[in-house]
Amino acid sequence: MIEIADFVEHAPVEPEVVAAYRDRVPAELVEVWEQYGYGTFGQGFIRVINPAVYEAELGDRIGKTQGDGVAIPVMVTGLGDLITWEPSLGGLVGLIFRENRGVGLGDVDSFLLLTEALGVDHLASEFNWGVFPEAVAAQGAPDFDESFIFVPLPSLGGPGTVDTLQKRQTLSAIQVMVDLQGPIGH
């Protein structure tokens, strides 16, 4: 198990969630749930979430069209990106709604190791996260269930600057972003 030095626990993962997903996600992710629970890491940018809640609320908005059609939400970012486990790919995929694109993140261990070892450089290359620390400095960190969301979205012509970021409930923000621009096919 990779140590996540800056993990901040929000709550323990319920035993029924672990039981329901144990055979659907890799053992490394189950270890994160059991050892750390729900919470944040990567300077508060990455959030480990309840997959059952996100699956129920997002459903077909996840946009999985390739492989076996299975994409299990396991994390979100402080900028409203969704990170899914995709069994047909054997890895994590980041859905970056503000840019209307997806990015392969590798397997769970690789993602955790690179985030721990490379920190902001890894987050910058995969998630274009530069405005996140600026927004935290200006507005304070978002609550666990919140993210900074661009209003308007850069993918819809917005400037994508820190002064256009607003704190929003992450789940409802993802729903609105997908409703406005459609799901990211992956």
* The pLDDT of residue 66: 66
The Cα-based distances of 95 to 16, 17, 98, 108, 173 in angstroms read 26, 23, 9, 16, 13
* The pLDDT of residue 141: 97
* The pLDDT of residue 2: 76
* The pLDDT of residue 69: 74
Comparing 40-44, 65-69, 79-83, which segment has the lowest mean pLDDT? 65-69
Which residues make beta-bridge pairs with 169?
Answer: 146
As a whole number, mean pLDDT of residues 113-139 equals 92
42: closest CA among 82, 5, 73? 5
Residue 182 pLDDT class (50, 70, 90 cuts): confident
* The pLDDT of residue 68: 74
Q: Please state the separation of Cα 40 from the chain's center in Å.
A: 10
As a whole number, mean pLDDT of residues 140-167 equals 96
In b/e form, how buried is each residue of 8-28, taking b as 16+ CB within 10 angstroms?
eebeebeeebeeebeeebbee
Give SS3 for 44: coil
Measure the CA–CA gap between 66 and 94, rounded to whole angstroms: 15
* The pLDDT of residue 135: 98
* The pLDDT of residue 149: 98
pLDDT digits (tens, 9 = 90+) for 171-180: 999 999 999 9
* Residue 103 CB contacts under 8 Å (≥ 6 apart), including other chains: 93, 94, 96, 126, 127
Residues 36, 157: contact at Cβ < 8 Å? no
pLDDT at 59 over 70: yes
Q: pTM for the whole thing? A: 0.95
